[in-house]
Structures are given as C-alpha cells and as structure tokens.
Amino acid sequence: MIYKLFLIIFLSNLYFSLDILKPTKSNIIDCHEPSDLAFDSSNSTFYCVSDEGAIYHFDKNFNLIKKFQTDLRDLESIYIDSENIYIIDERTRYIVTINKEDFTEKNRRLINYLGGSNKAFEGLVYNKTKDLWLVITEKKPLLFFELNDDFEVVNIIEKSKDFDELSAITFHDEFLWVLSDENRILYKISPIDYKIIDNWKVDVPTPEGLAFFADHLYIVSDNYNMIFDMGIIK
C-alpha cells in the first residue's frame, strides 16, 4: 500500500513537471468525433477519420472537400501515402487499403487480436526507419505490432511498462510520435526500439489524433470536433 502511494505521488510529480504545449490556434472541423488525423504531403491536404466510420478530406485550411462513409463503425487511425489511404477499425480488427483518387477499396486484412473490443487497435503508421507497418493497442495490454508489407504480423512488443494508454501514432522527422488521450501527454519515441526520447503535457481536451504539417503539430479533439495547432515541435 505504501509502495503504491509513493508510486502515485512520483507519477503525479512527473506529470506536472512536464513542459506544457499550448495551442496557438484552433478550428472547429466538420468531422464528428474525430479519432485521427493525417497530412497528405502530395497536395497539402488533411484526412480525418471518425468513430462513426467516415473518412473526411480537408484542404489545408480545414475546409471540407469530401466525406466518404465506409462500412466500418469504429475507425481509429489513418495513414496516407502517394497512392492510398490506410485505415484501421478497432472493433473488427481490419486494416483497409483505399484508393486515394476514387475511394474504392483495394484490400482488407484481418489482424487477429483477442483484447477487448473497445481497447484494441488505436494507431497505424508506416515506420520508415524499419520499413515495417506499426499498429498499437490502446491499453491493458499495450502492444506494438510490427507488420510486413502484406500486413502479416512479424513481431509483437509489450509496452505496458512505458505507457498507461495511447490514442494515436505518427512518423515525422525520423521519429515516432505517440499521444495519450487519458493522460494528455505527447511522446517522442525511437523508431528503432520504441524507447521514450522526450515527452510533453498537451493542453488539449480529449486529444485523439495527431499529424505534422510544416513542422507544426496538429491535434484533433474527439469530444469537441476541433483541431488545434500546437506550433512547431522538434
């Protein structure tokens, strides 16, 4: 009991000693319950996914270009490359590849996982350093799945000792960046061994997804249907 009390005090002091990132501006966006955000460098636009299974395409000023409704109902993450949109659904465990030009489905891959239906996959990103896909679970347990280009699991890494909970992941400036919704903490981690390099407290309510554009960090808030520009983060 005494050990647990000291642990709580230690973690509380650590949390409040973190540097705080505050938004420089914010926008209300036409995306209901946004769960993740991705930036498309090929045309300087953003994509957002929602808990209701929709994909939203915005210009760089967050004006809605297009909304596409999928047959899924709990989209938690989105990744964009030059040709495709990749999304992951928490409840069904599917990674779906969609053509970026006409939104036609190209592939659907089931990733087997026996965790809770609402505590499963929260993040999907391509780790360019290791040339592997990376999928993260939310919590209890918190796992990093490494996948090959066919979305076959090649390795699973337990990270519950390093993170209480995670809600999003992205790759930027040769590092991985992960976000905790419950703790409201941003982590910069190594793309090789996934160890924490730096972390910050984020002054954003229910931070669910993140993306970088021109070195600015953007975070979407689930409950408020808003996006926050956090300024330049290195």
CA distances for 118 relative to 39, 89, 137, angstroms: 26, 10, 10
What tokens were used for 82? 């030059």
What residues in the chain have per-residue pLDDT under 70?
1-17, 116-118
H or E segment and range at residue 217: strand 216-221
Query: What residues contact 198, with CB distance under 8 A and at least 6 apart?
Result: 187, 188
Q: What is the pTM of this model?
A: 0.90
The neighbour count for residue 61, using CB atoms within 10 Å, is 8
Report all structural domains of the chain as residue ranges with CATH numbers, in order of start: 2-232 (2.120.10.30)
pLDDT given for residue 2 in this prediction = 53
Nearest to 142 by CA among 172, 110, 106, 187: 187
DSSP for 191-234 reads: TTT--EEEEEEE--SSEEEEEEETTEEEEEETTTTEEEEEEE--
pLDDT given for residue 157 in this prediction = 97
pLDDT given for residue 10 in this prediction = 46
pLDDT given for residue 11 in this prediction = 47
